[in-house]
Chains A and B, each alone.
Chain A
Amino acid sequence: MSLTILQEISAQLQRGNARAVRELVQQAIDAGVPVECILNDGLLGGMSVVGERFKRTEIFVPEVLVAARAMNQGAALLKPLLASSDVKSCGKVCIGTVRGDLHDIGKNLVKMMMEGKGLEVVDLGTDVEPETYVRAAVEQDCRIICCSALLTTTMSVMAEVVAKVRQAGIHDRVKVMIGGAPVTETFCAQIGADRYTPDATTAADAAVEICRTLAETG
């Protein structure tokens, strides 16, 4: 029974059917399926398929949006139960578009994909000062700072973020990931950021990997 309902949650999430996902998640809770199974095998399992299909360009932003909406509505039902269980997120990330840049479509997609991987994401919005990333990472105990930029004018702010992280002496436990239309691997190496990823799915996978590595070494 539980395997079937979890598969069904995953399938409906992939179709972006939020109403069906809500109903099925409630049914699973009522049937006593462990919350971590509903989360991991149902919701995150479904979102993981969505991420892979997005990366392979079989589906596009609209399909991802409705899938993420379905995931969030299902997750909202689980939230009170997760709080009282010992399920932990696989890491915490703060994300924002850098100072001077107001573009947020890419940043929002990365956030959705990261949440779909079970990461906790602190959204700092757009036009974010380098100090703000560092403060958020310290105060909220984030493992990763994610910087987005669409403009060639603003991508240089990412170098300031890297410098602030080093100045604050937190680089051993907080890594800097960068992305956005004009950003490249070469630029990442130039400014000494920790990781560049070209798309939202790869960014989410990289963030999980970084969090895991930091947890093992820390």
Chain B
Amino acid sequence: MDTPRDNLLRLLHRQGYDTVPLEFALCPHLEEVYQAYEHSDLPYNEYFQMPWKRIADLRPDNDDRTRFAHYHAAAGLDAAGEIDEWGVGHRATPTSMHMTQMFCPLRDADSEEEIQAYPLPTYSAAQNPGLSAEVEALKQRGVSPVGNMQCTIWETAWYIRGMENLMMDIMSEDPMAEILLDRVTEMSLSRAKLYAQADVDILFLGDDIGMQQTIMMSEEMYTTWIKPRLKKIIGAAKAVKPDLLVFYHSCGYIEPFIPHLIEVGVDVLNPIQPECMDVEKIFREYGDRLSFHGTIGTQSVMPFGTPEEVRANVKRNLDLAGDKGGLFVAPTHLLEPEVPWENIRAYVEACQNYTR
């Protein structure tokens, strides 16, 4: 019999499916709501029998974050709790829930040397000895293992340099932009290879390149600065594991970029926000070459719709995808506190009860 993993992989390869797989992510508040409503001690991904699981994040060779402290001296960030492994600072505010204020370590950099000297982490198999065993154990349980590398090039570089600065560096063709993007690409490439070597089924990449109604940068800028670097990373990972499925995340409207993403080897696009793109049109134009993950709006129907509307959305999109599959139907983003549990239940039931 098919395991949830087999079923998911067939669906993602557009070779049909038996059951509709479920997937969503809850904010901390909704995790409490889940426990109260479902009376379960299981993690929600197990309770709802989600067919995949992210394996543990890679451990960098050097995780001493005090090496970034001087970049954040003005804000006085605590190296242990407020600086991430790439040196980006994060500080919670009393009202910001699970989100944090971001501090970009190279925001004031003004020389190539400073960019070159920035102590990005390195990653190695030696520092991550348990990876393959973790992947194998998940497969044994019928769960598909996922290597999570969202924030792959563009977002990681902008978190380090600051978005406006990085965009202006690029516009001015300042060598600082090229050095930073190249260094981040090399780092991500080594991570991607480690995941591929560990034999994950899915590598989840992503960089936000869309805004609500427009692309974030011109197609020319994207194809000059970002696309070749993404191609290099995906190429290196697929050279290790040719049947690796590459997911790619970008919020917002990214329609002009979709052919480029397909060209560099993206297999599944996430999240296709229905508030930003016409889901039916995207399916029609790209559904033979690309699969999709998401499509149920977290800016619209999940927080503000009725359970009936959620159910209708799920059914409509699965109908659009058809018998071959190619749609891992899910909310488009983390579910935030205002999403009623009834709507999450409606999504679950619509998937479980779906018939064509």
Q: What residue in chain A is nearest B172 (Cβ atoms)?
A: A66
**Across the interface, which residues of B come within 8 angstroms of A108, CB to CB?**
164
Q: Is B214 an interface residue (CB 8 A)?
A: yes
A100 to B303, CA, bound (A): 17
- Please pick, from B96, B171, B212, B217, the residue contacting A16 in the complex, using a CB distance under 8 A: B171
Interface string of B236-266 (1 = CB under 8 A from A): 0000000000000000100000000000000
Q: Is A182 an interface residue (CB 8 A)?
A: yes
Q: Which candidate, B68-76, B78-86, B97-105, B282-290, is the interface stretch facing chain A?
A: B97-105
A168 to chain B, nearest CB (A): 22
Q: Is B353 an interface residue (CB 8 A)?
A: no
Q: How many residues of A contact B (CB 8 A)?
A: 26
User: Quick one: given A60-B216, A66-B172, A151-B336, are A181 and B164 in contact (CB under 8 Å)?
Assistant: no
**Across the interface, which residues of B come within 8 angstroms of A59, CB to CB?**
218
The majority secondary structure among interface residues of chain B is loop
**Across the interface, which residues of B come within 8 angstroms of A69, CB to CB?**
168
A66 to B170, CA, bound (A): 10
User: Quick one: given A60-B215, A61-B211, are A153 and B168 in contact (CB under 8 Å)?
Assistant: no
The majority secondary structure among interface residues of chain A is loop
Quick check: B215 and A127 within 8 Å, CB to CB?
Answer: no
- Please pick, from B100, B221, B252, the residue contacting A62 in the complex, using a CB distance under 8 A: B221
A175 to B182, CA, bound (A): 47
Q: Is B77 an interface residue (CB 8 A)?
A: no
Interface string of B267-298 (1 = CB under 8 A from A): 00000000100000000000000000000001
Q: What residue in chain A is nearest B338 (Cβ atoms)?
A: A153
A69 to B95, CA, bound (A): 32
Q: What residue in chain B is nearest A18 (Cβ atoms)?
A: B172
Quick check: B299 and A182 within 8 Å, CB to CB?
Answer: yes
Q: What residue in chain B is nearest A67 (Cβ atoms)?
A: B171
User: Quick one: given A152-B299, A199-B213, are A62 and B167 in contact (CB under 8 Å)?
Assistant: yes
**Across the interface, which residues of A come within 8 angstroms of B97, CB to CB?**
100, 153
Quick check: A102 and B338 within 8 Å, CB to CB?
Answer: no
A60 to B300, CA, bound (A): 26
Quick check: B96 and A152 within 8 Å, CB to CB?
Answer: no
Q: Is A105 an interface residue (CB 8 A)?
A: yes
A19 to chain B, nearest CB (A): 10
Q: Is A57 an interface residue (CB 8 A)?
A: yes
Most chain B CB atoms below 10 A, which of A59, A61, A62, A63: A62
Quick check: B304 and A60 within 8 Å, CB to CB?
Answer: no
Q: What residue in chain A is nearest B170 (Cβ atoms)?
A: A62
Q: What residue in chain B is nearest A179 (Cβ atoms)?
A: B212
Quick check: A105 and B212 within 8 Å, CB to CB?
Answer: no
Q: Is A99 an interface residue (CB 8 A)?
A: yes
A13 to chain B, nearest CB (A): 13
Quick check: A105 and B163 within 8 Å, CB to CB?
Answer: yes
User: Quick one: given A60-B214, A65-B164, are A102 and B299 in contact (CB under 8 Å)?
Assistant: no
Quick check: B218 and A60 within 8 Å, CB to CB?
Answer: yes
**Across the interface, which residues of A come within 8 angstroms of B215, CB to CB?**
57, 60
Which chain B residues in 163-200 approach chain A with CB under 8 Å?
163-164, 167-168, 170-172
Quick check: A102 and B101 within 8 Å, CB to CB?
Answer: yes
A191 to B216, CA, bound (A): 30
Quick check: B214 and A57 within 8 Å, CB to CB?
Answer: yes
**Across the interface, which residues of B come within 8 angstroms of A153, CB to CB?**
97, 336-338
A127 to B299, CA, bound (A): 20
A164 to chain B, nearest CB (A): 16
Quick check: B298 and A152 within 8 Å, CB to CB?
Answer: yes
**Across the interface, which residues of A come within 8 angstroms of B300, CB to CB?**
182
Which chain A residues in 173-218 approach chain B with CB under 8 Å?
181-182, 198-199
User: Quick one: given A66-B168, A66-B172, are A102 and B214 in contact (CB under 8 Å)?
Assistant: no
Quick check: B275 and A62 within 8 Å, CB to CB?
Answer: no
A54 to B251, CA, bound (A): 20
Which chain B residues in 293-322 approach chain A with CB under 8 Å?
298-300, 303-304
Which chain A residues in 113-155 approach chain B with CB under 8 Å?
126-127, 151-153
Quick check: B168 and A65 within 8 Å, CB to CB?
Answer: yes
- Please pick, from A60, A102, A126, A199, the residue contacting B217 in the complex, using a CB distance under 8 A: A60
**Across the interface, which residues of B come within 8 angstroms of A152, CB to CB?**
298-299, 303-304, 336, 338
A102 to B163, CA, bound (A): 15
A65 to B162, CA, bound (A): 13
Quick check: A63 and B171 within 8 Å, CB to CB?
Answer: yes
A63 to B220, CA, bound (A): 12
A99 to B94, CA, bound (A): 10
- A residues at B contact (CB < 8 Å): 16, 57, 59-63, 65-66, 69, 99-102, 105, 108, 126-127, 151-153, 156, 181-182, 198-199
Ordered nearest first, which 3 A-B pairs have the shortest CB separation? A62-B167, A182-B299, A100-B95
Q: 10 A-B contacts, Cβ less than 8 Å apart?
A: A60-B215, A61-B167, A62-B217, A69-B168, A100-B97, A102-B93, A151-B336, A152-B338, A153-B338, A181-B299
